[in-house]
Structure formats: structure tokens, C-alpha cells
């Protein structure tokens, strides 16, 4: 076997392999034996027919195809050793010639990451103080949630809920046909289209109205730009919301003993969400800065694998998994391949973020012990005791366990970098 190799862009190696005649004949013989075990010929028991008759029966092309299925992978593995190439994923193989067998493998190899001077980065982790007005806003939302609807004999106002028959068209296409629909008339509502709620203002019970709403070609919402909508509405009832008083009974309905405790709970929840949001913004800025000042080279297969992960994440939102996602894309006039292309930038960013963070973890000797992994597993068990057995079985397997360890290393590295760039380290 003759082999040559050369490094090419994106951390890949072009591996060229040419098989010797004797090696090809060896695999042709193995292929013929393999096919002979599966072939039944008249007058012979299955697998007992002479090789010459089997060869005449299946044909030279079938034998060659069977041989290639075994020969190429075996030759590829041998060539990797011979050329001292450390592959990190499956190669892309191109068969150049059959007689003699010559093929080319594009082999993905380990990424090359050189961080910039990350110890000189200075960033500030923003903070937000939750104001009383923020808490008041949530309490008003709760009042709206707990409010009751009371029929009124007056014109429709913003904040009312109407019961109505609504028919809507986009051009000649029917988009809405609801009887006794409950519609909340909110200012600036974009449902079913912007401007619809405004048309309801001033109408009374039993009023009937037909109207059109056109949208110019450069309208900010692209999905409805250049479209003409028409609606026919019959108001059957007008209701206003009767809102509860803010007292201890109201607080108990919201899960607290009194108004003071309710306000404290709301404030703590708002603070937690604000801190989490600011932390994500900070980490995004930190990772972006790290990527911009670093040299990161990696094989394209890593992006494809990350796209697979993103597809899996999206598929969990559908009851029938990836098939549901494909149906959703089909309704949006988009193929899965087009969707994969759309995901490439995000997948590439995630790969870069992982590689640079992992490299810094390696440089700073950031590790996670077996005890820490075990503690994380037990924490998951405590959060979901009904699945305790399944969780422990899953993380008894090497790959999920190492993935968990890897994730914890990344989290530790991000904690270290956060302290470093904010001046806490």
C-alpha cells in the first residue's frame, strides 16, 4: 500500500492511498467467501456452492463492491497509523480509481487554538437594582390575571374583552373564521394584525363592521408587508375586567401570607432573573472578546456535529421529534438542508466558544474530580427523584459521564474568567 499525506486548511489532512494488486486480490477473496455464505444455488445447500459458480452468479461488480466495503475502511485505518495521523472524527472518502484501488480521505484532525492575552481583558459585570415600580408592575399583572369579566353596556375601550364573530382574509385566502371568539382589546396589539384592535374602539354590543387593513411593501413586519387584509366583525358582548383589591386575601391567592411577603417574593424573583440575564450578556461579551483576540482553527465536521445538537434541541419542542420539526419547516416553505445552513453561524460560534474555553481550562489546569461528577449526579437525582434509577444508569456510561465532566470544566473555566476579567481573581 502506497500512502501520502499533506496538511490542508481547517485542521484537515488529505490522505492519499493506493492499494497494491495483492492486497486487492486478498479482499476480493474475502468478499467472495462472504457472498458465498449468503448465496443459494440450485443443487447446493446455502453457503456450499463452489466459488467459481458463486462468482458467475453474483457477477464481478458485486464482488468488487463487497470487497471495497471492507478494503477501504481497513486500508484507511492502516494508512492513519503509517502516516501518524490522529483523526478526531470520520473522514470524507472519495474513491478515485478501482483498478488499482486508489482513494482519497479528507481527515479531520485536532483543532489548533491559541488564546490571546486573556489575562489583560477588563470587563464589568453590570448590576440592576429592582425598584418598587418594577414590583408594582408585576402586581398589576397579577391583578389582571385574577380579575373577573363583567358585562357592560357601553362602547368598547382598551382593556375590554369582547365576544365576537370574526372573519378575516388575506386577499382571497381565509385566515380566520371564529364564532364567539374572546378577544382582548389591547393597545398596540399585533393580533391578528396591527391596527385590528383600534378598529374595535367605540363599537357597541350587536355592532357589525367590515374593514380593510393594507400594509405597504416596506412595512417593518416582513411577513405582512405588501399584503391586504379584510375583516368582518360582529360584536356579541362587551366585558370589562373587575380587578381585585391589593390586600392580604389577594396575596394569599398569589401564594403568599400577606402583601409584604408577596412583594418580597416578587422582588427576589425579579432580581434573580435580572442577575441571570446580565450574567448571560456578560458571558456573551466575554466569549466574543476571547474569540476576537484568539486564533481558532478547526475542521468543518465540528460545525456539522454542533448543528446536529441544535437540531436535537429544537426537535424536543415537538411531540414527534425531528419529524415534527420537518413538518414545521415544511409549513414555512423551508427544507431541513436550508435550516441547517441557517444554523451554521450559531453552530460555528458555539464551537469557537467551546474550543477557546476548553483551551484556557487546559492552560490554567482547571479540572473536575470524580467526586464532583458524582455530586452533580446526586444533585440531579434530588431534583428528579422519580427518575433516580435512570439518571444513575445514564451517567454510569462513559460518554454521558465524560460529557458531564466536560460541561463542569467549561463552567469552572467561565467562573475563573469572570473573576479574572472583573478584577476579583
Residues 235-247 have pLDDT tens digits of 999 999 899 999 9
Q: Which of these three, 214, 242, 270, is where a domain ends?
A: 242
Residue 332 lies inside a defined structural domain of this protein: yes
51: pLDDT strictly greater than 60: no
Residue 293 lies inside a defined structural domain of this protein: yes
Q: Which of these three, 190, 207, 242, is where a domain ends?
A: 242
Q: Are 111 and 298 in contact (CB under 8 A)?
A: yes
Number of domains making up the chain: 3
Q: CA 12 to CA 227: how far, in whole Å?
A: 49
- DSSP characters over 242-273: EPPPSSHHHHHHTT-SSHHHHHHHHHHHHHHH
For residue 31, what pLDDT band results from cuts at 50, 70 and 90? low
Question: Is 309 found in the same domain as 402?
Answer: yes
60: pLDDT strictly greater than 70: no
Question: Is 210 found in the same domain as 174?
Answer: yes
130: pLDDT strictly greater than 90: yes
Question: Is 91 found in the same domain as 45?
Answer: yes
Residue 119 lies inside a defined structural domain of this protein: no
- For residue range 305-349, list pLDDT tens digits in order: 999 999 999 999 888 889 989 988 888 888 999 999 999 999 999
Q: Which of these three, 51, 84, 110, is where a domain ends?
A: 110
205: pLDDT strictly greater than 70: yes
How much is the pLDDT for 46?
61
- Give the range of the structural domain holding residue 221, as residue numbers without chain letter: 148-242
Q: Are 233 and 204 in contact (CB under 8 A)?
A: no
Nearest to 71 by CA among 22, 7, 23: 23
Q: Is 324 exposed, middle or buried (0-12, 13-18, 19+ CB in 10 A)?
A: middle
356: pLDDT strictly greater than 60: yes
Average of pLDDT values for 42-53? 60
Residue 143 lies inside a defined structural domain of this protein: no
Question: Is 416 found in the same domain as 335?
Answer: yes
Greater pLDDT, 383 or 222: 383
- Residue 107, strand partner residues: 13
CATH number, position 351 = 1.10.3120.10
Question: Is 223 found in the same domain as 299?
Answer: no
Q: Are 72 and 95 in contact (CB under 8 A)?
A: yes
Question: Is 265 found in the same domain as 235?
Answer: no
CATH number, position 164 = 3.10.50.40
Q: What percent of the chain has pLDDT over 70?
A: 89
Residue 156 lies inside a defined structural domain of this protein: yes
Greater pLDDT, 67 or 304: 304
Question: Is 306 found in the same domain as 220?
Answer: no
For residue 119, what pLDDT band results from cuts at 50, 70 and 90? very high
Longest dimension (CA), the chain: 97
Question: Is 402 found in the same domain as 273?
Answer: yes
- Residue 210, strand partner residues: 232
CATH number, position 86 = 3.30.70.1050
| Residue 114 main-chain phi, psi, to 5 deg | -125, 105
Residue 168 lies inside a defined structural domain of this protein: yes
Question: Is 237 found in the same domain as 197?
Answer: yes
Question: Is 396 found in the same domain as 341?
Answer: yes
Q: What percent of the chain has pLDDT over 90?
A: 74
Average pLDDT, the chain: 90
Q: CA 293 to CA 279: how far, in whole Å?
A: 21
Residue 122 lies inside a defined structural domain of this protein: no
Residue 221 lies inside a defined structural domain of this protein: yes
How much is the pLDDT for 384?
92
Question: Is 263 found in the same domain as 370?
Answer: yes
Q: Are 329 and 150 in contact (CB under 8 A)?
A: no
Helix axes 60-82, 21-36, angle to 10 degrees: 130
Question: Is 272 found in the same domain as 230?
Answer: no
Average of pLDDT values for 288-306? 96
For residue 22, what pLDDT band results from cuts at 50, 70 and 90? confident
Amino acid at each position: 500500500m502506497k500512502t501520502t499525506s499533506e496538511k490542508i486548511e481547517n485542521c484537515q489532512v488529505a490522505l492519499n492511498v493506493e492499494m497494491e494488486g495483492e492486497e486487492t486480490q486478498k479482499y476480493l477473496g474475502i468478499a467472495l467467501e462472504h457472498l458465498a455464505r449468503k448465496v443459494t444455488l440450485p443443487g447446493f445447500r446455502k453457503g456450499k456452492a463452489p466459488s467459481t459458480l458463486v462468482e458467475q452468479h453474483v457477477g464481478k461488480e458485486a464482488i468488487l463492491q463487497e470487497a471495497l466495503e471492507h478494503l477501504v475502511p481497513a486500508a484507511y485505518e492502516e494508512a492513519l497509523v503509517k502516516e501518524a495521523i490522529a483523526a478526531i472524527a470520520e473522514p470524507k472518502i472519495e474513491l478515485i480509481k478501482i483498478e488499482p484501488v486508489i482513494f482519497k480521505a479528507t481527515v479531520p484532525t485536532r483543532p489548533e487554538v491559541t488564546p490571546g492575552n486573556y489575562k489583560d481583558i477588563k470587563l464589568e459585570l453590570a448590576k440592576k437594582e429592582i425598584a418598587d415600580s418594577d414590583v408594582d408592575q408585576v402586581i398589576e399583572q397579577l391583578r389582571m390575571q385574577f380579575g373577573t369579566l363583567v358585562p357592560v353596556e357601553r362602547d368598547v375601550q382598551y382593556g375590554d374583552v369582547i365576544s365576537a364573530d370574526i372573519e378575516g382574509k388575506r386577499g382571497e385566502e381565509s385566515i380566520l373564521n371564529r364564532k364567539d371568539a374572546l378577544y382582548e382589546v389591547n393597545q398596540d396589539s399585533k393580533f391578528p394584525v396591527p391596527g385590528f384592535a383600534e378598529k374595535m374602539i367605540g363599537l357597541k354590543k350587536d355592532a357589525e363592521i367590515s374593514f380593510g387593513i393594507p400594509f405597504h411593501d416596506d412595512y417593518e413586519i416582513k411577513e405582512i408587508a405588501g399584503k391586504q387584509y379584510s375583516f368582518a366583525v360582529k360584536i356579541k358582548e362587551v366585558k370589562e375586567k373587575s380587578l381585585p383589591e391589593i390586600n392580604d386575601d389577594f396575596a394569599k391567592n398569589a401564594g403568599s401570607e400577606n402583601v409584604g411577603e408577596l412583594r418580597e417574593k416578587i422582588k427576589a424573583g425579579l432580581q434573580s432573573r435580572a442577575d441571570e440575564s446580565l450574567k448571560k450578556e456578560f458571558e456573551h461579551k466575554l466569549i466574543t472578546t476571547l474569540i476576537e483576540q484568539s486564533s481558532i482553527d478547526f475542521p468543518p465536521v465540528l460545525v456539522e456535529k454542533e448543528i446536529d445538537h441544535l437540531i436535537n434541541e429544537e426537535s424536543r419542542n415537538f411531540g414527534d421529534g425531528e419529524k415534527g420539526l420537518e413538518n414545521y419547516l415544511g409549513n414555512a416553505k423551508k427544507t431541513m438542508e436550508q435550516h441547517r445552513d441557517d444554523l451554521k453561524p450559531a453552530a460555528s460560534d458555539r464551537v469557537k466558544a467551546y474550543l477557546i474555553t476548553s483551551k484556557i481550562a487546559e492552560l490554567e489546569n482547571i479540572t473536575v474530580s470524580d467526586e464532583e461528577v458524582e455530586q452533580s449526579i446526586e444533585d440531579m437525582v434530588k431534583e428528579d427523584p422519580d427518575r433516580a434509577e435512570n439518571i444513575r444508569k445514564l451517567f454510569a456510561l462513559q460518554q454521558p459521564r465524560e460529557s458531564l465532566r466536560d460541561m463542569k470544566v467549561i463552567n469552572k473555566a467561565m467562573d475563573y474568567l469572570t473573576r479574572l476579567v472583573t478584577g476579583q481573581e
